[in-house]
Amino acid sequence: MESTPAPGENIAVLRKARGLGQTKLARLAGISASYLSKIEVGTRPVTPPVVAALAKAMRVPTQRIYGQPFLGPSEQADLLNDLRSAVRRYTLPKEDVPEPAELAADVAKAMQLRAETNYLELLGMLPRLLGQVTATALSSSGEAGAWTQVSDVYGCAYAAAHRMAQPDLADMIVSRQAWAAQQTWNPEAEVAAAWNEAGTYQSAGQYDDGLAIIERAISKYEGAAGNTPASALSLGSLHLRGIVLASRHKDKNATAEHLERAKRFANGLQSDVLRHNLTFGPGNTALYELAAHIELGNPDRATKMSGPLLEDPPTNLSPSRLGRMYIDIARVRLDMKDYSGTEEALEKAFAIAPQMAEVHPMSREVIRVLFVLHQRARPKLMTMAKRTGLVG
């Protein structure tokens, strides 16, 4: 990965280009000038809600602040271009219809790669696989199962585009997933599409609009679903997305409501379930509760929760979920000025989900702050900084 400007540097450049002083921009964004100054010099991480507030104040997309980690020729850029081309010609697949068993195996492999955060291998197979599942569905005379495969593969594509910081591509993929889901007659597929649609608003910092998408999906699905494990997974997953959106929107009441309802559905499941690229159960709900405490500014409660999670991590969660848990724990430990504990949590994130840890905005921010705070002599931190492209 190539070295790119950090969000703090991008904020400073954008601010100066608009003729804004730190005091005025901080006031517009609802943060202190001291906090903004520390973000710009790299001694405090910029969090997603703050990125959203600063982007709104400067009238730029959030991606302008995060930057683009895949500038110029690179393996990632080539793979993303191939995916973009495949998504663009969504009704004109060039691929032939494969054998059903072969196709089912490839779809399962793509979903596994997504769960394991193996984004490069996933990107390598997605263009061809999207063409194959679409060709199969178009030739199946509306068979619902074939369209469910299309929806699931687009769900994998969304995860890759989102993690590779391609919001425009992610938006296009979500529209394709919704198109496929509407032809499945499968409410679970429509829930998965709504989950990702709300995710695009989350990435853009439009948390209230994302919550509206979630509430609409919950209302629609509640009317169609019975009291089954599948309905618990679907509704519970929607409430998990609601937890993130509400906590970043600093709406404590909505956060508590979504959390309470998610826990109610999770209590009916013995363990976490992964279906249609959605993970739901007691373990994942705990991870979302941890993240909510961080977003709502409750580091003490987050620290208290993180201890048991570190000692006994949920064993049935995928690397994508556990990697995010360790990144969240690193973030709260940084808030508590536990720098060695922060580095330890980051190492665990890199061990279990290396490609996620390399590109996740919060992982990169935590590493950047550690690096600036006179931690440069630590060899493991230097290695992580190089892997994220923060140093050459």
Write down the H helix ranges in 59-186: 62-66, 75-88, 100-115, 119-138, 144-163, 167-181
Confidence of residue 273 (pLDDT cuts 50, 70, 90): very high
Q: Tell me: the pLDDT tens digits for 1-45?
A: 445 678 999 999 999 999 999 999 999 999 999 999 999 999 999
Give the pLDDT confidence score for residue 72 in this predicted structure: 47
Q: What is the pLDDT at residue 270?
A: 87
User: What is the average pLDDT across 352-361?
Assistant: 93
Q: Identify the H or E element spanning 306.
A: helix 299-311
Token reading at 326: 């360790």
63 contact partners, CB below 8 Å, separation of at least 6: 165, 167
> Model confidence over 99-156: pLDDT tens digits?
999 999 999 999 999 999 999 999 999 999 999 999 999 998 778 899 999 999 999 9
- 377, pLDDT greater than 80: no
pLDDT digits (tens, 9 = 90+) for 212-262: 999 999 999 987 666 777 889 999 999 999 999 999 999 999 999 999 999
Mean pLDDT over 278-300 rounds to 96
Using 50, 70 and 90 to split pLDDT, how confident is the model at 173?
Answer: very high
Confirm if 156 and 110 have CB atoms less than 8 A apart. yes
Q: Which of 233, 229, 133, 235 is nearest to 184 (CA)?
A: 133
Distance CA 184, CA 180 (A): 7
